[in-house]
A = this chain, B = another copy of it.
Amino acid sequence: MNTPPSGAPRRATISDVAREAGTGKTSISRYLNGELSVLSPQLRARIEAAIERLDYQPNQMARGLKRGRNRLIGMLVADLTNPYSVEVLQGVEAACHALGYMPLICHAANEVDMERRFLQLLTTYRVEGVIVNALGVSEETLRPVGGGGIPAVLVDRSVEGLVADMVGLDNEAAVTVATRHLVERGFDRVWFVVQPFERVSSRRLREAAFHRALTQYPQVNGRTVVVELGDADELAQTLTALDAEIDAAIANRETSGETSEDAATLPRVALFAANGPVALALARHLNQRHGADWQKRVALLSIDDPEWAELAGITTIRQPTYDIGYRAVEFLHERIDGAQASARDCLLPGELIERASTAR
């Protein structure tokens, strides 16, 4: 259990190089840290040769231990199967590269236990900061970070009781634009479909913004539908019920004088998915029950713009995911360097992508 790994041969150390070059460790260290000016050309050449011969690579762990900083930052991702997360990650990686950090990517896979465990792990590895796309359960599991602990930046959602910078979508603006779009397209029943939202700030914000936006359009019938994506049975049940209501809405239209053909080809019901995973669940279910023609029954709009949305012709609000990740690292960088401003929120604008799913 505690024996050194036998798989790989021992690597050369700074002492080996010093010996090989016939000098002291200090000069090697200087060479490594770019203090070239203080080295005589000959010594420098000998060191270069020794390093080459021994294929020496400085041990970052030892380096970090000595320096008190290891240039490591943690990136805690709630769910990598969500394209949103991967896109944010790309921004994070780019910024890390630019700023000289190495991101330690941890995937909680929607498990609270994992989240806690990784946070703990990151702490023991002494990362200089963390970017966390939290599951959003309780601040308790996030205790080690933020405020008194290690610098942290939240992504997409804030966590109650935890003071830290946050960067994410301008939900208010995004939802307002999306809602107006649906109303202008003539949908007069708009159902906002969202996962349980009490504990996840971004969902809560979107839901609230939706109802606020609707006050502008008294002729529109709007409501919130909560779906739980985790439980397949419950999900199927909810979606089936939702589907029945769409039926009823269509029937209602028919009895109010429209021809059934109008009702079939001109849906008046629109589903507003609070995020990509919800949209995918909705689309899969509708597709399964009604075939490829389901878009004639009901419109769909989603926040998040995954690759399949174009394929399926879904209107979306695209988030500036790359920028979100990039900004998050920049914020964290400032914190690590000791900036002491109070917690900031950085809200980035979304972009409406109109596609067939909300055309009439």
A residues neighboring B (CB under 8 Å): 2, 4-9, 11, 57-62, 64-65, 67-70, 80-81, 83, 86, 89-90, 93, 102, 104-107, 109, 120-121, 123-126, 128-129, 148-151, 280, 283-284, 287, 292, 307-308, 310-313, 335-338
Give Cα distance in the complex from A318 to B2, angstroms: 39
Quick check: B121 and A102 within 8 Å, CB to CB?
yes
Interface of A is mostly: mixed
Chain B residues, CB < 8 A from A151: 7-8
Can you report 11 A-B residue pairs in the complex whose CB atoms are below 8 A from each other? A5-B128, A9-B148, A58-B124, A59-B65, A61-B70, A81-B83, A81-B307, A93-B109, A307-B308, A308-B312, A312-B312
Quick check: B128 and A59 within 8 Å, CB to CB?
no
Chain B residues, CB < 8 A from A90: 107, 109
Assuming A89-B80, A107-B105, is B6 touching A338 (CB within 8 A)? yes
Give Cα distance in the complex from A120 to B56, angstroms: 12
Quick check: A124 and B7 within 8 Å, CB to CB?
no
Quick check: B64 and A61 within 8 Å, CB to CB?
yes
- Most chain B C-beta atoms within 10 Å of own C-beta, residue among A102, A125, A129, A336: A125
4 closest residue pairs by CB, A with B:
A6-B338, A308-B308, A4-B68, A105-B105
